[in-house]
Chains A and B, each alone.
Chain A
Amino acid sequence: MDGNVEDFVETARNKQALNMAEMTKVDCRHIDVFYDEKQAIYDISMEIQDRAVTAFIGPSGCGKSTFLRCINRMNDTIESASVKGQIIMDGADINDPSIDPVLLRSRVGMVFQKPNPFPKSIYDNIAYGPRIHGLAAGKSELDEIVESSLRKAGLWEEVKDRLAAPGTSLSGGQQQRLCIARAIAVSPEVILMDEPCSALDPIATARIEELIDELRERYCIVIVTHSMQQAARVSQRTAFFHLGKLVEYGDTERIFTNPEDSRTQDYITGRFG
């Protein structure tokens, strides 16, 4: 059992070190999700690519957020939720009891719909993850992680002079980038974003989208969005969900120009949703 966990971490670190390009990062097989008796996800299988942005689109309540939360086992925190099926990441099933969700979440970061910085200083917001995972040996290393995370999130120039200011004092867009930096700080391989721009104005949204595009080179990013334009702009692959089922999944360009399923066509053209 323990060997399994160590292998899981070992492979991950090795791959990161070798900067190995691999096509499939997360392989979901026959996922069913239930909330008590009610089934929310019906037998979804999909392969999510590394170093690419995958967008989940679909009408409200179609299960895209639920499915996203399966990937870092956030559904574990909901008592009534139960997940069936396999999610293979780097050769290991993340739903295996030997995989601790805490360990998994250090490799699969998450950004939420509403910016939710901790009510602490900007510095502590970023440093919290590395601290609890023991990623920094000392103060100077931690400072480096904070700086590089903030730089990657494009926030460094704006906040470098006030790292001690509370994270909640930033604007909404800055807060969301702070949350992205916080997710990056624990050096994950996958970043899940649950409608990260829905609470932001268009200018802040544009900045986040730029950021997502930059981050694509290093991470496997999955984004849930209600904005078709956003999906078209930032993603390479798009999955369309409807009523808990995966209707269509493919290259973004093809989904938006030549959808195979009529429901996809209707949703994209705005006939329902």
Chain B
Amino acid sequence: MKKIISLGVVLAMAAAMLAGCGSTSSSAPAAATAAPAPAASSSQAAALTGSVGTNGSTSMEKVIGGLSEAFMENNSGVKVTYDPTGSGTGIQAVIDGTTDLGLSSRGLKDEEKAEGLTSKTVALDGIAIIVNNDNPIEDLSIQQIADIATGKITNWKDVGGNDSEIVMEGREAGSGTRDGFESIVGVKDECKYANESTSTGAVIANVTSNANAIGYASLSAVDDTVKAIKVEGVAASEATVLDGTYKIQRPFIFVLKEGATLSDASQAFLDFALSKDAADIITGAGAVPVAK
């Protein structure tokens, strides 16, 4: 009998704990949504409803994720969806009219503009080329970087450094940074990596610990544990990315139909993404905001 009672007590305690967990987890988001509510009511006269469909670049996942989260917090009636299909598919979806906003991590080609498309740049993605702090290399050309990535140059002395083998650090297939680096430098699917890491932090850690390593990382993630080298004589910084002199960068753009009217919700989302309010979110997602 005693055992049954104690069992009952244990069950009751477990239930109480579970209940405790449940209530804390359900109250947290409530508090989070409650806070920005006044801001929303002051900026938006009439509550928006509807949905905003975005479709395209997989590299923009973090930027769009951050933007849509913030937007939906302020406009609870709007649902922003995101299909990570790739820039080409996203642009085609705008032409076909199957999405509200196309997403592309490259500029529109002339033949795409001829289809009546226009674009709005939401952010720039700068990719820093990083080497170990002990590496004397300061500056590489895009061609040299491409040759290193594809394994044509395998020794640092061939680009003016020490006589030691180059270790190419990269990201895993599917990573937006990898896709960005490979497509800008022109080495798509030809890179010979020594290591593939699953995060920017791991790439930086590998370059920090290996004097022969070279790698790439989002500009915003680079700190002083590694050296971001100059590319074609230009140092990587937000300023050089913005003025276009730093070459290893690409635009994140919204693709629209020229002259077509967007739904109220889509227009509001677009305005928000291009506004100054979104700058911090874009920086947080690892890109350089263009709104001033």
- The finding on whether chains A and B are genuine partners in a shared complex, rather than unrelated, reads no
Chain B: residues with CB nearer than 8 A to chain A?
none
- A binding-site residues for B, Cβ under 8 Å: none
